[in-house]
């Protein structure tokens, strides 16, 4: 695991990069963490689980701290800045030697999932998307002026939702998958709540099955 910094606009963001053993080019994955204003950071159980799933599938994985978190410069960007940080993370990964720039998977948990959707609305085009208990805009994504334009999603998407989630009912995720590409799936995990404590192996297993199912990634 390599600790490093990468640029996002005029800021430097703290990150952890893991590269598979062997010869590339490798597919790549970015993982976005939960809400910065409620203690969210890359040092999170779900972020670790998503990073492990990527590594288990032979990906270069990048977990990072949004602006204003940990050693990252700046301050909270009201999701707009965090969407920019995700795009910067993807561009940084694509510039690394030994990676396949076209094989990018974007992962996000809670706030990180919503920030990932905003990054898509700004033009980021990953090969696939993995969201764990993603936050949703008030009124639903289909009624959000900015996010409504990304529907239907143009690439395979996995949404993991705990059936005991205290904040987001999985029924409201359906517009994300309606009319979406093959391989897309909403996976409901019976005993998981929003924080996924003890259910991390299920995240890893579900994400691995999903990623292995997408022909262009392997």
pLDDT along the chain (218 residues), means of 10: 96 97 92 98 98 96 98 98 98 93 96 98 96 92 90 92 95 84 89 97 97 80
pLDDT value of residue 142: 86
pTM, rounded to two decimals: 0.96
Beta bridge partners of 60: 28
Q: Sort 150 into a burial class: Cβ within 10 Å, 0-12 / 13-18 / 19+.
A: middle
Number of structural domains (the chain) is: 1
Which residues form the domain of 37? 2-212
Q: Is 217 within the bounds of a domain? A: no
The domain spanning residue 125 has which CATH number?
A: 3.40.50.1820
Task: Output the pLDDT for position 135.
Answer: 96
Q: Compute the distance between CA of residue 73 and CA of residue 42 in angstroms, rounded to an integer.
A: 15
For residue 218, tell me if it sits in a domain. Answer: no
Report yes or no on 44 lying in a domain: yes
């Amino acid at each position: 695991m390599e600790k490093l910094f990468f640029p996002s606009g005029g800021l430097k963001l703290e990150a952890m990069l893991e590269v598979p053993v062997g010869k590339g080019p490798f597919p790549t994955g970015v993982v976005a963490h939960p809400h910065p204003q409620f203690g969210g950071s890359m040092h999170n159980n779900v972020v670790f689980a998503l990073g492990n799933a990527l590594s288990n599938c032979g990906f270069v994985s990048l977990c990072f701290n949004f602006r204003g978190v940990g050693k990252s410069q700046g301050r909270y960007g009201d999701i707009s800045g965090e969407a920019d940080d995700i795009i910067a993370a993807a561009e940084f990964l694509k510039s690394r030697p030994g990676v396949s720039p076209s094989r990018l998977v974007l992962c996000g948990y809670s706030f990180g999932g919503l920030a990932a959707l905003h990054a898509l609305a700004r033009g980021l085009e990953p090969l696939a998307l993995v969201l764990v208990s993603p936050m949703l805009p008030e009124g639903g994504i289909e009624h959000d002026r900015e996010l409504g334009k990304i529907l239907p999603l143009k690439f395979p998407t996995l949404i993991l939702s705990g059936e005991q989630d205290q904040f987001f009912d999985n029924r409201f995720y359906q517009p994300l998958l309606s009319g979406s590409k093959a391989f897309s799936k909403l996976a409901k995990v019976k005993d998981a709540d929003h924080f996924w404590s003890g259910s991390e192996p299920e995240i890893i297993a579900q994400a691995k099955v999903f990623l292995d199912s997408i022909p262009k990634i392997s």
